[in-house]
Amino acid sequence: MNYLVISPYYPQNFQQFTIELANKGITVLGIGQESYEQLDEPLRNSLTEYFRVDNLENIDEVKRAVAFLFYKHGPIDRIESHNEYWLELDATLREQFNVFGAKPEDLKKTKYKSEMKKLFKKAGVPVVPGAVIKTEADVDQAVKEIGLPMIAKPDNGVGAAATFKLETEDDINHFKQEWDHSTLYFFEKFVTSSEICTFDGLVDKDGKIVFSTTFDYAYTPLDLMIYKMDNSYYVLKDMDPKLRKYGEAIVKEFGMKERFFHIEFFREGDDYITIEYNNRPAGGFTIDVYNFAHYLDLYRGYAAIVAGEEFPASDF
């Protein structure tokens, strides 16, 4: 099997994916911007070949690199970065070279909040009312139909970037002044809960969940942005069966295969309101936190399912 890693050097903790894939006897190839000499020695030793490009955002340059590796090593079986920033590049390359996994069309349901909400409804999980905003008339219509307070986010966006909390008429006018009128926005009823939790995990090549867990954020992403706070979260030992039921229904509806997922919810009393689906692992060192919390190795576990093996059980 030939497995192509996009940006194998960064983030640094994700280098372990390459190392564990190589330990399974998989031929791991890499494309990145860093010089070969900059790669950490364990990473270099795990890569069969590394192709340096000047700019990973130059799709034509990256395609030429993939074509070279294809010519030299044979068909590519997997292309992956696990990184939000490169998800669209991964998908474009998979389509170009006919590789297993999500293609650009498949990413629409994970990129656009309006598309996510359609699938959340199909999965039968709680959501709040929302509307796509293309014009100022849409803004006024949303105020009338959904009512204040609302939260305004780019329809295609991650986290709390370019987010507005709309509570008053002044807030609406401020949004209209700040909005570039070309970025599609998605307005939703504002949820007052300050508790955000997740349903995170990994699915195999058949879409079966082989690992799942949950963590609680100490603060909401909006509070982190507004008050310049430090992010923190903690993994829970036990998961509410209702949260698991909602999460599993969402994963089934989205139908992704052989990849991580990270789904966020508001906790409101004894129920949950779905926020968004992320088609990758939670960021930063979260995989390492899961490994410590559950006494397992998700890097090794991921390599196992790619190699067609069973996901290894926790030793705890």
Hunting for tokens 């999460």 — which residue is that? 247
CB atoms within 10 A of CB 106: 18
Handedness of CA 137, 110, 118, 147 (dihedral sign): negative
**Interatomic CA distance for residues 228 and 224, integer angstroms:** 5
Encode the chain (316 residues) as per-residue pLDDT tens digits. Answer: 999 999 999 999 999 999 999 999 999 999 999 999 999 999 999 999 999 999 999 999 999 999 999 999 999 999 999 999 999 999 999 999 999 999 999 999 999 999 999 999 999 999 999 999 999 999 999 999 999 999 999 999 776 678 999 999 999 999 999 999 999 999 999 998 989 999 999 999 999 999 999 999 999 887 888 888 998 999 998 999 999 999 999 999 999 999 999 999 999 999 999 999 999 999 999 999 999 999 999 999 999 999 999 999 887 6
Please choose, from the candidates 137, 145, 193, 189, the residue with its C-alpha nearest in 3D space to the C-alpha of residue 166.
Answer: 189
Amino acid sitting at position 302: Y
What burial class does residue 15 get, using C-beta atoms within 10 Å of its C-beta: 0-12 exposed, 13-18 middle, 19+ buried?
A: buried
Tokens of 78: 């997997």
**Interatomic CA distance for residues 311 and 303, integer angstroms:** 9
Tokens of 41: 């020695």
Handedness of CA 146, 113, 271, 84 (dihedral sign): negative
Going from the N-terminus, what domains does the chain have, and what CATH number goes with each? 2-107 (3.40.50.20), 129-189 (3.30.1490.20), 193-306 (3.30.470.20)
CB atoms within 10 A of CB 4: 28
